[in-house]
Structure 1
Amino acid sequence: MSLFRVFVDGAVFYHPNLSKLAITEARISEDAESIDNLTLSAPHNHPYLTSIKPMQSVIVCKKNDETVFEGRALDDGSDFYNTHTWTCESCLAYLKDTVQPPYSYKGTLRGLLEYFISVHNGAVEDKKKFTVGNVTVTDDNDYISYSSSGFTVTLDAIRDKLIKTHGGYLRVRYTDNGKVLDYLADFSTHSLQTVEFGKNLLDVKISRDHTERASALIPLGALIKETDAEGQEMETNRRVDITSVNDGKNYVCDEDAVSEIGWIWTSEIWEDVTLPGNLLRKAKARMQELAKGVTSMELTIVDESDAGADIGDIRARMYVRCISKLHGIDGTYLCLSRTVDYLNPAGNTITIGASGITLSSASARQDQNISDLSDELVGVTGEIKTINEQKMYRTETYVDGVNIFRDKGQHSILRCRVFSWDKEITELLDASSFVWHRNSGDEAADADWDASHVGMKYITVTTEDVQDNASFYCEITI
Structure 2
Amino acid sequence: MSNGYRVTIRQGWYAPEQLLNSEKSDKIRLETAQITKGINSYDSFQFTISPTHPQYSNINIFTSFVKVIDPKESKVLFEGRVITPDDAMDSGGIVQKTITCESLEGFLHDSVQPFLEFHNTTPKDFLQALINEHNKQVEDYKKILLGNVTVTNSTDNVYRFTEDDKDTYDNIQDKLVTRLGGEITLRHEFLGLYLDYMPQIGGNESSQKIELAHNLVSLERTVDPNSVFTVLKPLGATQEPTDSSSSSSTDVAYPRLTIASVNNGSPYLYADQAMIEKYGKQVKVNTWDDVTTADALLSKGKAFLDAQASFKNQIQVAYVDMAHISPDKFNSLNCGDMVTIVSSIQGINLTERITGMLIDLLNIAESTLTIGEDDMNQLSYEKMRIDELNSEKEALVGRLNAQNSQIFNLINKNKSLNTAVDNLGTNYDTLSSQVKDIINNNDVWVSGGKFIDTSSNNGTMSVSDFKTLYDSGVKGIIVKATEGTTYVNSLAASHLVNANSAGIKTVGAYHFLVGSSTGTAQGQAFLAEIQALGLPKTTIVACDIEDGSLSSDLAALNSMISDFYAVLTAAGYTNTCDYASASWFGSRFTSTAKLKWIASIGTSTKPNGADAWQYTWTYNGGSLDCSYSYNKAFV
Aligned to 2:336: 317
Q: 1:57 aligns with which of 45, 61, 64?
A: 64
CA distance in 2, matches of 1:213, 1:309: 45
Q: Secondary structure at the match of 1:305?
A: helix
Q: Does the Cα contact within 8 Å between 2:313 and 2:375 map onto a contact in 1? A: no
Aligned to 2:96: 83
CA distance in 2, matches of 1:136, 1:251: 42
Aligned to 1:170: 184
Please tell me the residue identity of whatever aligns with 2:82. Answer: A
Cα distance change on mapping 1:173 and 1:193 into 2, 3 Å: farther
CA distance in 2, matches of 1:217, 1:295: 23
Q: 1:196 aligns with which of 198, 203, 211?
A: 211
Q: Does the Cα contact within 8 Å between 2:312 and 2:375 map onto a contact in 1? A: no
Query: How far is the alpha carbon of 1:251 from its aligned partner?
Result: 11
5 Å-filtered alignment, 1:13-412, equals 13=19, 14-64=21-71, 65-78=74-87, 79=89, 80-106=93-119, 107-148=121-162, 150-187=164-201, 188-214=203-229, 255=272, 260-261=278-279, 262-265=281-284, 267=286, 287-290=307-310, 293-310=311-328, 311-355=330-374, 360-365=384-389
Cα distance change on mapping 1:141 and 1:346 into 2, 3 Å: same
Query: How far is the alpha carbon of 1:103 from its aligned partner?
Result: 1.0
Cα distance change on mapping 1:135 and 1:195 into 2, 3 Å: same
Q: Secondary structure at the match of 1:51?
A: coil
- Unmatched 5+ residue regions in structure 2? 11-15, 236-258, 291-295, 397-401, 408-451, 459-465, 473-615, 624-635
**CA deviation string 1:2-53 (max 9, x = no partner):** 5521121241222133444221111101111112111111221111122211
Query: How far is the alpha carbon of 1:383 from its aligned partner?
Result: 13
Cα distance change on mapping 1:254 and 1:165 into 2, 3 Å: farther
Please tell me the residue identity of whatever aligns with 1:70. Answer: E
CA distance in 1, matches of 2:391, 2:288: 34
What is the number of equivalent residue pairs in this alignment?
365
CA distance in 2, matches of 1:251, 1:153: 45
Cα distance change on mapping 1:11 and 1:150 into 2, 3 Å: closer
CA distance in 1, matches of 2:200, 2:287: 22
Q: Does the Cα contact within 8 Å between 1:8 and 1:57 map onto a contact in 2? A: yes
Q: Secondary structure at the match of 2:24?
A: coil
CA distance in 1, matches of 2:343, 2:211: 6
- Unmatched 5+ residue regions in structure 1? 221-242, 374-379, 386-400, 417-460, 469-478
Q: Secondary structure at the match of 1:353?
A: strand
**CA deviation string 1:452-474 (max 9, x = no partner):** xxxxxxxxx97499799xxxxxx
CA distance in 1, matches of 2:9, 2:371: 32
CA distance in 2, matches of 1:331, 1:23: 37
Q: 2:18 aligns with which of 12, 18, 38?
A: 12
CA distance in 2, matches of 1:153, 1:28: 25
CA distance in 1, matches of 2:221, 2:144: 37
Cα distance change on mapping 1:149 and 1:316 into 2, 3 Å: closer
Q: Compute the RMSD of aligned alpha carbons.
A: 4.6
CA distance in 1, matches of 2:157, 2:326: 49
**CA deviation string 1:303-335 (max 9, x = no partner):** 111234322111211111111121121111111
Query: How far is the alpha carbon of 1:171 from its aligned partner?
Result: 2.3
Cα distance change on mapping 1:266 and 1:298 into 2, 3 Å: farther
Please tell me the residue identity of whatever aligns with 1:46. Answer: H
Aligned to 1:449: none
Q: Secondary structure at the match of 1:191?
A: coil
**Which is helix-richer, 1 or 2?**
2
Query: How far is the alpha carbon of 1:159 from its aligned partner?
Result: 1.5
Please tell me the residue identity of whatever aligns with 1:32. Answer: I
Instruction: For CA contacts below 8 A with separation 6 or more, give which structure has more relative contact order.
Output: 1
Please tell me the residue identity of whatever aligns with 1:118. Answer: N
Query: How far is the alpha carbon of 1:214 from its aligned partner?
Result: 4.9
Query: TM-score, normalized by length of structure 1?
Result: 0.64
Q: Which moved more, 1:24-33 or 1:207-216?
A: 207-216
**CA deviation string 1:276-318 (max 9, x = no partner):** 9xx98xx86994533xx22210000001112343221112111
**CA deviation string 1:218-260 (max 9, x = no partner):** 999xxxxxxxxxxxxxxxxxxxxxx9xxx9xx99997576664
CA distance in 2, matches of 1:185, 1:216: 34
CA distance in 2, matches of 1:61, 1:27: 10
Q: Does the Cα contact within 8 Å between 2:42 and 2:185 map onto a contact in 1? A: no
Q: Does the Cα contact within 8 Å between 2:230 and 2:270 map onto a contact in 1? A: yes
CA distance in 2, matches of 1:355, 1:414: 43
Query: How far is the alpha carbon of 1:205 from its aligned partner?
Result: 0.7
CA distance in 2, matches of 1:100, 1:167: 21
Query: How far is the alpha carbon of 1:178 from its aligned partner?
Result: 2.4
**Which is strand-richer, 1 or 2?**
1
Q: Does the Cα contact within 8 Å between 1:41 and 1:85 map onto a contact in 2? A: yes
The percent of aligned pairs where both chains have the same amino acid is: 24
**CA deviation string 1:49-77 (max 9, x = no partner):** 22211122111111122211111222122
CA distance in 1, matches of 2:469, 2:191: 49
CA distance in 2, matches of 1:165, 1:217: 26
Q: Does the Cα contact within 8 Å between 2:182 and 2:199 map onto a contact in 1? A: yes
CA distance in 2, matches of 1:109, 1:270: 28
**CA deviation string 1:356-380 (max 9, x = no partner):** 77673434547999xxx9xxxxxx9
Please tell me the residue identity of whatever aligns with 2:214. Answer: K
**CA deviation string 1:101-145 (max 9, x = no partner):** 101112111222222222222211233233222223221111221
CA distance in 1, matches of 2:115, 2:28: 48
Q: Secondary structure at the match of 2:57?
A: helix
Q: Does the Cα contact within 8 Å between 1:137 and 1:185 map onto a contact in 2? A: yes
CA distance in 2, matches of 1:325, 1:148: 51
Q: Secondary structure at the match of 1:346?
A: helix
CA distance in 1, matches of 2:135, 2:268: 43
Q: Secondary structure at the match of 1:289?
A: coil
5 Å-filtered alignment, 1:378-457, equals none
Query: How far is the alpha carbon of 1:151 from its aligned partner?
Result: 2.8
Cα distance change on mapping 1:99 and 1:112 into 2, 3 Å: same
Query: How far is the alpha carbon of 1:200 from its aligned partner?
Result: 0.5
CA distance in 2, matches of 1:44, 1:315: 33
CA distance in 2, matches of 1:365, 1:219: 36
Query: How far is the alpha carbon of 1:336 from its aligned partner?
Result: 0.7
Cα distance change on mapping 1:355 and 1:103 into 2, 3 Å: same
Q: Secondary structure at the match of 1:157?
A: helix
CA distance in 1, matches of 2:391, 2:206: 30
Cα distance change on mapping 1:147 and 1:351 into 2, 3 Å: same
CA distance in 1, matches of 2:4, 2:353: 26
CA distance in 2, matches of 1:203, 1:119: 47
Q: Does the Cα contact within 8 Å between 1:173 and 1:180 map onto a contact in 2? A: yes
